[in-house]
Amino acid sequence: MATTTATISISSGDLIPGSNLSVNASSTLMKAGLTTGLTQLRTGYESIATGTEFRLGPLATETSGSVHDIASWVYICNKATDDTYYIDWGIHETMIGRLYAGDWMFIPWNASDDDAEIEIEAQNGTQTIEYAFFASDLVLPTAAS
Amino acid sequence: MATINATVSINSDISSYPVNINSSMTMMKAGLCTGLDETTGLRTKKFTSTTDAVIVEHDELTDDKAHKVYIRNTSSSKEYFFYVAYNASAAAAGTAEVIGKLYGGDWMLFPYDGNVNITVASSTTETQTLEYMVFADGVVAAKG
């Protein structure tokens, strides 16, 4: 069994006057509802042009055949350095947030169906992202005949 | 201006070569090199039903900004989870837009535009606890 561990540390000495903020958490990524570790991985480092919404990663039907709603995890980091650049990210047609230059995000993604894909769109300039999908199943697209 | 640093470390032996992802960020205001300096505070909430609930109300935050949301299921069970959704009403399970499922011990951090509520729904009537915090790029003061 593979073991994937994700650890976060958030700290600030001046966000809350008179109190140091220190949030720390660590989790081992498991298959949905199980204590068995995730076993599949897809990583990338790609340049994203502006003006188009792109799908990042697989469709639900490419993650586990006919069985969706699984426990996948997504890490994305925007490697841009211009403070005005950001990546809109969302699920399907709904944008949820802006991943600005230098920012990272880490989320569970349940891929309930093919309309639950992760979408991204670069704003203000071409940007490079680094990403990783940790999943219990990834299915390659069928080759064209 | 405050300085809020967030670091992630992901280590895995899924592949034959070690995967070691390490990334740090200082949370900045949208389009600026000025740090976020507001928060809704760290909150802890117990859930004992599957009723959907809003944990982040978007009207407390400025729209279209660079907020960050941290959520952790502090329970230990890998059987139960919370749906986490970006949703206008308090309906997380099975409705758009569900982001994912947060099982016991799992955490997530994501950028949030502040335009729609963040809702959750527990998968069980067993007690589960969430801790969550918004690092805000603009908090809207409550009207008197």
Q: Which of A17-21, A38-42, A139-143 has the lowest mean pLDDT?
A: A139-143
The pLDDT confidence band at residue A66, using thresholds 50, 70 and 90, is: very low
Contact across the interface for A107 and B100, Cβ inside 8 Å: yes
Is the residue at A10 inside a domain? Answer: no
ipTM above 0.90, yes or no: yes
- What's the pLDDT tens digit per position in B93-127? 655 688 999 999 999 999 999 999 999 999 999 99
Mean pLDDT, range A42-54, rounded to an integer? 93
Tokens of A141: 């697209």
CA dist A32 and A112 (Å) reads 12
The pLDDT confidence band at residue A111, using thresholds 50, 70 and 90, is: confident
How many residues in total does chain A contain? 145
* pLDDT for residue B93: 61
Mutate to test the interface with A, among B1, B15, B21 (most CBs of A within 10 A): B21
The pLDDT confidence band at residue A141, using thresholds 50, 70 and 90, is: confident
Mutate to test the interface with A, among B63, B78, B87, B95 (most CBs of A within 10 A): B78
Mean pLDDT, range A101-121, rounded to an integer? 88
* pLDDT for residue B54: 93
The DSSP annotation for B54-116 comes to: EEE-GGGB-SSS-EEEEEEE----SS-EEEEEE-SSS--TTSS-EEEEEETT-EEEEEE-SSS
Give the CATH number of the domain where residue A88 resides.
2.60.120.10
User: E-assigned strands of A66-116?
Assistant: 72-78, 86-91, 94-100, 104-109
**Which of A11, A102, A109 has its CB closest to that of B99?**
A109
Q: What is the DSSP letter of A60?
A: G
Residues in chain B with CB shorter than 8 Å from the CB of A17 are: none
3-state SS class at B45 = strand
- Pick the closest to residue B91 from B110, B60, B117 (CA basis): B117
- What's the pLDDT tens digit per position in B2-51? 999 999 999 999 999 889 999 999 999 999 999 999 999 999 999 999 99
The pLDDT confidence band at residue A72, using thresholds 50, 70 and 90, is: confident
Closest CA of chain B from A20, distance in Å: 11
- Tell the burial category of A131 from Cβ atoms under 10 Å away from its Cβ (0-12, 13-18, 19+): buried
Whether the predicted pLDDT of B144 surpasses 70: no
Specify the fold of B38-136. Answer: Jelly Rolls (2.60.120)
Contact across the interface for B14 and A110, Cβ inside 8 Å: no
From first CA to last CA, the distance across chain A in angstroms is: 35
Is the residue at A125 inside a domain? Answer: yes
Q: What is the DSSP letter of A114?
A: T
Residues in chain B with CB shorter than 8 Å from the CB of A97 are: 66-67, 110-113
CA dist A93 and A89 (Å) reads 10
With CA atoms as reference, the chain B residue closest to A77 would be: B23
- Window 64-123 of B: residues touching A by CB (8 A cutoff) are 65-67, 70, 72, 78-79, 81, 83-84, 86, 94, 96-103, 105-113, 116
Contact across the interface for A4 and B72, Cβ inside 8 Å: no
Q: Are B139 and B36 in contact (CB under 8 A)?
A: no
Closest CA of chain A from B52, distance in Å: 18
Number of domains in chain A: 1
* pLDDT for residue B70: 98
